[in-house]
Amino acid sequence: MSSTAATRKPCVLFVDDEKRLLEGIAQLLRKQYEVQIANSGDEALRRLGELKDVAVVVSDFRMPQMDGATFLHQVMLRAPTATRILLTGEAGVDGARDAVNKGQIFRFLTKPCPTDQLREALDAGIELHRLANAERIVMQETLLECIAALMEVLAVTNPTAFGRAQRIKRLVADVATKLECGQFWQLEAAALLSQIGYFAESPELAEKIYYGRTLSPEEKKRAAAVPANAQRLFEHVPRLEPVIQIVTALDWPDAALARLGDGMIGLGARILGVALEYDLMTIKEMPKKEIMQVLRARESRFGSNVLEAFTAVVGAEAEPQVQTMRLREATPGMRLLQEIRTSSGALLVPIGFELSQRLLERISQVAPEALEEMVRLAPARPATA
């Protein structure tokens, strides 16, 4: 962490339709905090999109157009690590219940609020924000990397499942970024684990499912059990509950999925669901225009916001530049534009696969002759900030 980041005052956003009250709060607290103010929920949401790393959001309950409960619900969706505090002149039970349900607030403060009490609440909220960010970083840098490493180890035994998981992970990350919910590390984990159940099955069955080939009654039964197998593998792993909930919700009916709303589970399940369906139709070589028509017809399931973001992401995909070289000359990050099979015809690496150093080393051990093949590759994608 840079010294500038370490010494910067914590950012606190106050929202109230009483302008003079906000100006007084800013004057009172500006020495200790970076105080930002907004006179309405709509203005505050715009400010939230412009500001970086808002630690605490304090909102009045009674505001015109958008009340505090509705506003804090939107804050929860757009900046999930920001601590949410409700400042109200009312102690109504119905209002309190609505705020808790919609915004998952951290504390209630009543007007007029003593300065010491306000500072104490802000400091507690800032500490909660710090801990939430620290946990998110740990999850992203440890648990998510462990899942990715596990999948990569299993890649040689079932390359079809791993290749699809890798493509899906890349796609959902792009859509989540477009929707400004890029902090959903659980969504990336769910994308990887959505295919984990196939590793318990034979590579032959995974390949038949992958290409949409006819399955026998027994194979259909095994394929239907794949999601449940995946859930059993990870249901007792700490911190993975939201990930499992996202994967489980993929099989829910449209109405049940809609009831999850735009929180991390509901939005994550819709993003992952549309990515999986898109990938499956792409594998079957359906034209992109036809694929998007099919997906738009299912707006009741995926939601207009997800479909709009997804359309923007896949529509912006340029035709990959093609480089032809021996597989041994490929570098990590390059993406295969063709399949790699062993001399016996078994699938070794699927099309669309992003190469890694570990996988190249494993191929050299399992099928060294494959490294001499001339293959078509797309260059590595530039790293994102």
Structural domain of residue 269, as residue ranges?
155-317
**Residue of 52, 50, 40 lying closest to 15 (CA atoms):** 40
Residue 290 pLDDT greater than 50, yes or no = yes
Which range has the worst mean pLDDT, 81-85, 182-186, 335-339, 368-372?
182-186
Verdict on whether the full-model pTM lies above 0.85: no
328 domain-assigned: yes
Percent of the chain with pLDDT over 70: 88
User: Are the beta carbons of 42 and 65 closer than 8 angstroms?
Assistant: yes
d(CA 251, CA 273): 9
Burial string for 302-319 (b: 16+ CB within 10 Å, else e) reads bbeebbebbbebbeeeee
pLDDT on residue 125: 93
What are the pLDDT digits (tens) for 95-107? 555 555 555 688 8
The residue ranges of DSSP E strands in 65-153, in sequence order, are 83-88, 107-110
Q: What is the mean pLDDT of residues 221-247?
A: 77
Residue reference for tokens 């001399």: 343
Same domain, 243 and 308: yes
CATH number at residue 326: 3.90.105
**Residue of 325, 353, 348 lying closest to 337 (CA atoms):** 353
User: Are the beta carbons of 171 and 156 closer than 8 angstroms?
Assistant: no
Q: What is the mean pLDDT of residues 309-316?
A: 87
Same domain, 112 and 128: yes
pLDDT on residue 87: 83
Q: In terms of DSSP H, where are the helices of 213-303?
A: 217-224, 226-234, 241-249, 254-258, 264-283, 288-296, 299-302
Q: How crowded is the C-beta side of 204, counted as CA atoms within 13 Å?
A: 5
149 domain-assigned: no
Same domain, 312 and 289: yes
What's the distance, Cα to Cα, between the start and end of the chain in Å?
15
Same domain, 244 and 266: yes
Distance of CA 140 to the CA centre of its chain: 11
Taking 3-state DSSP, the helix, strand and coil percentages for the chain, each rounded to the nearest 5, stand at 60, 10, 30
337 domain-assigned: yes
pLDDT on residue 276: 93
Same domain, 169 and 210: yes
147 domain-assigned: no
Same domain, 304 and 176: yes
Residue 14 pLDDT greater than 50, yes or no = yes
Q: In terms of DSSP H, where are the helices of 155-250?
A: 159-178, 185-193, 203-210, 217-224, 226-234, 241-249
pLDDT on residue 93: 45
State how many domains the chain has. 3
Same domain, 253 and 208: yes
Output the six-digit token pair for 248: 């489980």
Antiparallel, parallel or unpaired: β 340-341 and 107-110: unpaired
Residue 374: beta bridge partners? 326
Residue 59: beta bridge partners? 15, 86
Residue 324 pLDDT greater than 50, yes or no = yes
Same domain, 162 and 87: no
pLDDT on residue 182: 57
Residue 32: beta bridge partners? none
What are the pLDDT digits (tens) for 262-276? 778 889 999 999 999
CATH number at residue 100: 3.40.50.2300
138 domain-assigned: no
What are the pLDDT digits (tens) for 342-365? 888 877 877 777 788 877 887 888
